[in-house]
Amino acid sequence: MPIKEPSRARDDVGSNSIDSVTMGKSLRADARRNRERILDVATKVFATEGLDVPIDEIANRAGLGVGTVYRHFPTKEELFEAVVFRFKQRLIDKAMEMLEHDDPGPAFFNFLSLIVREGMGNKALIAALASGMDIHRPLSGISLDFRNALGELLNRAQLAGSVRNDIQVTDITAILCGVVRTLEYNDDYGLSERILSVVCDGLRGRCNL
Amino acid sequence: MPIKEPSRARDDVGSNSIDSVTMGKSLRADARRNRERILDVATKVFATEGLDVPIDEIANRAGLGVGTVYRHFPTKEELFEAVVFRFKQRLIDKAMEMLEHDDPGPAFFNFLSLIVREGMGNKALIAALASGMDIHRPLSGISLDFRNALGELLNRAQLAGSVRNDIQVTDITAILCGVVRTLEYNDDYGLSERILSVVCDGLRGRCNL
Amino acid sequence: MPIKEPSRARDDVGSNSIDSVTMGKSLRADARRNRERILDVATKVFATEGLDVPIDEIANRAGLGVGTVYRHFPTKEELFEAVVFRFKQRLIDKAMEMLEHDDPGPAFFNFLSLIVREGMGNKALIAALASGMDIHRPLSGISLDFRNALGELLNRAQLAGSVRNDIQVTDITAILCGVVRTLEYNDDYGLSERILSVVCDGLRGRCNL
Amino acid sequence: MPIKEPSRARDDVGSNSIDSVTMGKSLRADARRNRERILDVATKVFATEGLDVPIDEIANRAGLGVGTVYRHFPTKEELFEAVVFRFKQRLIDKAMEMLEHDDPGPAFFNFLSLIVREGMGNKALIAALASGMDIHRPLSGISLDFRNALGELLNRAQLAGSVRNDIQVTDITAILCGVVRTLEYNDDYGLSERILSVVCDGLRGRCNL
DNA sequence: TATGAATGAGCATTCATTCAT
DNA sequence: AATGAATGAATGCTCATTCAT
């Protein structure tokens, strides 16, 4: 499944071959390092402070100028999306692992649990999941991938009879989003446990009335 | 600089109908009407656009000057709280009705359903419920009332055996908040139905593990 | 010396004689009482908080509506001028007393001392004196009277040889204004004493190079 | 939100003249020029119109955007303080000169005269001096320096017998502040001369009682 | 390519003054 | 005459984004 980087131009090849030999490589490495640094900082900052932090703040904490941030991410939104990209990529990896190693039911439910654990108090992940919910704009590449991975887990769990059959992937993303947002202002551990248990029970299927 | 409370209440009308005709509290009536208008507009605008709408916008849409809005609600936050107040008041009323007329189980679950229906796509209600979740500041009057009403419904449902006993009110408000936020950008009816059913099932109690 | 009230219209006489008989007198009394109350409050508030207090605040503290304040004083500035009027009137009275009862020298210097004492920490009086200094707008009636009273004291003190002959009234008002403003943020008693003594010494006349 | 200091100093030029031609610190130079321009404008505007001029006005007159002004001076107050800084710095320099070159007495009195001349009609300087008088907040760096310079002048003048011994520095700043404020609306030259002479005479010491 | 200076629209809030009742 | 509601211009300040160096 090819994952396309979100719109990051890189149209400088060809003529600057000399540069590439003399110092181009190192520049590119520098740039890549900066990009990573920005993402790291943005990830942490968005996670802890939410989306309202000014870009200047992020640039500062990354030890870079604003201009540099904007060179890599032409828009605050795009920066955020890149952060989202990372989150989802990591989660997708986890999903893949679980798909390979675990039994269908546990794989699915453990994945949910994982997300909840990671999302607790992480405003960026919360916003990331929420942004994937917006029905009004089409799912970007990574979100699609994420949904597909989740769908895979769900499917197998349903085939194994561990999850109600009427449930759709969207329902799961929605529920995840909800649970995780629920915990935005509330890191009481018992709470998340109980909510997760309610949701999982509900997903397993009704048994009374 | 101390902010003076914006001349609330004094809504005892009735017998002074003659006064109202001759020269009575009609200015007061005007003011009250404006206040209502502001609240109406704010409710709608906050609901559809979120909390970021400028006060000027609200004033404009209400056909009033900014100053008038600020006279009634000295702070944007207070305006929002007034909107929240209304929402919660209405929900509390509904809860009371259900407490009186319905059986414990249905009363509880119907109330959840009601909230979900009302909250769907309503950013203001969502924010309202979310604001009640912030563990860091104590519940204000109406939010307390709301929680109490919900607690009452939950209690009776638990006594009647319709809801798991380990569930607490906070869990419910959290779940509601989550579900409703989930549907912020998504008004697909089937979705909300399924999520609700999952949650309700989960709340009823586990039957398989 | 006729002192004219600062532009306070009072053009309702004649035809409303009936009103004056039935209830007019009491209304006028009411109005006059309100006017006094506003002035009292404004005097105190301007003195302690400075000229930046909103008119609403004054109206509130006076237990009246803003409209009432504006009825009596069509402009914030006019209100302030009325306050100034009072201050200066009182000072003029004192000056008159001193003119009658005290010797020329002491009369003059005691008067200065009095003003300094009254002006210390009284932002309104300070502003009042300062407003009288503005060369760009002509002296209003009371300020003229005040200056004249001061001039009288000065004259006699000069004739008695207690004050340098080259000093003019304006110099005195200016100096007073300065001394009093000096003490605006500084209520240390010794300070005002010393400053006063320097100024008075200086006024008495030079004795060394 | 932490406010970062506006990139002061670094005024070591000289040898890098080549850099300046090719591509040197010209941006920095631009910024510095803007900073100066803002300060110049603010100085003039504050001086002539007082502290109430909107920042937008200053930005306009400087031909810059508001944001630029705020970049250099994060707060209106800080802008004003920077203006004050300049004034006081210049005065301190003058004081130093006089300390070196003039005899104690004349040095002191000429300094007073200088301040009065500069402060006449200069609302900014007046406010600057006044701000140094506020007993409620401790003196900032430059104001302390200013007071010290003045103290030095005073001391020497007192040792030389040119000034009354009971006078303290605070008295002098207070008097200066007062005299200068006195002249806020009044640029009549004779007036300031006479006031100054009165004050100076007073400071020299009493000779008659 | 990196930098950070400049920009300016945007926003919450205040307050003198007017006006309907 | 009194009231206080309405008005809206004005202001300090923020922050996403552009641009010159």
Q: Which positions in chain C touch D182 (Cβ < 8 Å)?
A: 133, 174-175, 177-178, 181
Whether B202 and A201 lie within 8 Å, measured CB to CB: yes
User: A175 and B182 in contact by Cβ < 8 A?
Assistant: yes
CB atoms within 10 A of CB B15: 7
- Position A181, amino acid: R
Residue B105: closest C-alpha in chain A: A209
Confidence of residue C55 (pLDDT cuts 50, 70, 90): very high
Tokens representing A42?
A: 């943005």
Higher pLDDT, A31 or C22: A31
Contact between chain B and chain A (3 or more Cβ pairs less than 8 Å apart): yes
Distance between CA atoms of residues B204 and B164, nearest Å = 6
Shortest CB distance from B178 goes to which of A181, A188, A202? Answer: A181
The DSSP output letter for D102 is S
Does residue A181 sit at the B interface (CB-CB below 8 Å)?
A: yes
Amino acid D36: pLDDT: 95
Give CA–CA dist C191/C205, Å, rounded.
22
| CA/C1' separation B27–F5 (Å) | 8
Distance from the Cα of D166 to chain C's closest Cα (Å) equals 8
Count of residues making up chain D: 209
Residue B169, Cβ density class (10 Å: 0-12 exposed, 13-18 middle, ≥19 buried) = middle
pLDDT per residue as tens digits for the range C95-136:
999 999 999 999 999 999 999 988 888 888 888 888 777 766
Question: Minimal CA–CA distance to B89: which of B144, B29, B19?
Answer: B144
Q: How far apart are CA C49 and CA C83, in angstroms?
A: 14
CA of B194 to C1' of E13 (A): 45
Q: Is C167 on the interface with D (CB under 8 A)?
A: yes
Count CA within 13 A, CB hemisphere, residue A31: 13
Out of B136, B171, B186, closest to residue A174 by CB: B186
B196 CA: distance to closest CA in chain A (Å): 9
Going residue by residue through chain D, which has 209 residues, state the pLDDT in tens, using 9 for 90 and above.
333 333 333 333 333 433 444 444 455 788 899 999 999 999 999 998 989 999 999 999 999 999 999 999 999 999 999 999 999 999 999 999 999 999 999 999 999 999 998 888 788 888 888 777 776 667 778 889 999 999 999 999 999 999 999 999 988 988 888 888 777 776 676 888 899 999 999 999 865 33
Whether D186 contacts chain C with CB within 8 A? yes
Q: Which of C201, C204, C209 best probes binding to D when mutated, by most D CB atoms within 10 angstroms?
A: C201
Do residue B191 and residue A171 have CB atoms under 8 angstroms apart?
A: yes
CB contact under 8 A, B171 and A178: no
Q: Kindly compute the dihedral angle of the four CA atoms of residues B12, B13, B15, B19, in this order, to the nearest 10 degrees.
A: 120
Closest nucleotide (CA of A67 to C1')?
E3
* pLDDT category of residue C76 using cuts at 50, 70 and 90: very high
**Which distant-in-sequence residues (6+ apart) come within 8 Å of D160 by Cβ?**
D103, D104, D105
Backbone angles phi, psi at C118, to 5 degrees: -70, -30
* B152: Cβ contacts below 8 Å, ≥ 6 apart: B95, B99
Residue A128 at interface with chain B, using a CB cutoff of 8 Å:
no
Q: How many CA atoms are closer than 13 Å to the CA of D33, on its beta-carbon side? A: 8
Among C180, C117, C169, C166, residue whose Cα is nearest residue C145: C169
Q: Which chains are adjacent to chain C, needing at least 3 Cβ pairs under 8 Å?
A: D
Distance B12 CA to F5 C1' (A): 20
Distance in angstroms (rounded) separating the CA atoms of residues B59 and C149: 55
Chain D residues inside the 8 Å CB shell of C179: 178
Nearest to D194 among C166, C183, C199 (CB): C166
Q: Is the pLDDT of residue C2 over 90?
A: no
Integer angstrom CA distances of residue A201 from A114, A151, B165, C136:
16, 19, 14, 84
SS3 A48: helix
Interface test with C, best of D182, D184, D200, D203 (most C CBs within 10 A): D182
Cβ-contact D204, D157 below 8 angstroms: no
Q: Which residue is nearest nucleotide F10, judged by alpha carbon to C1' distance?
A: D54
A88 CA – F6 C1', rounded, Å: 52
Put simply, the answer to whether D206 touches C183 (Cβ < 8 Å) is: no
In angstroms, what separates the C-alpha of A27 from chain B's closest C-alpha? Answer: 41
Rounded to an integer, what distance in angstroms lies between the CA atom of residue B38 and that of residue B59?
7
* Paired tokens of A141: 């590449």
Q: Does B169 touch chain A (CB under 8 A)?
A: no
**Residue ranges of chain B with per-residue pLDDT less than 50:** 1-25, 208-209
- Per-residue confidence of chain A (209 residues) as pLDDT tens digits? 333 333 333 333 333 444 444 444 455 778 888 999 999 999 999 999 999 999 999 999 999 999 999 999 999 999 999 998 999 999 999 999 999 999 999 999 999 999 998 888 888 888 888 877 776 667 778 888 999 999 999 999 999 999 999 999 988 988 888 888 878 777 676 888 899 999 999 999 865 33
> Phi and psi at residue B39, in whole multiples of 5°?
-60, -40
Q: Give the Cβ contact number of residue C44 at 10 Å.
A: 15
In this complex, is the C-beta atom of C116 within 8 Å of any C-beta atom belonging to chain D? Answer: no
Domains of chain D, earliest start first: 26-74 (1.10.10.60), 77-204 (1.10.357.10)
**Which residues of chain B have a CB within 8 Å of the CB of A196?**
none
pLDDT tens readout for residues D20-49: 444 444 557 888 999 999 999 999 999 989
Q: Select the residue of B133, B177, B185 nearest A136 (Cβ to Cβ).
A: B185
Q: State how far the Cα of C97 lies from the Cα of A47, in Å rounded to an integer.
A: 76
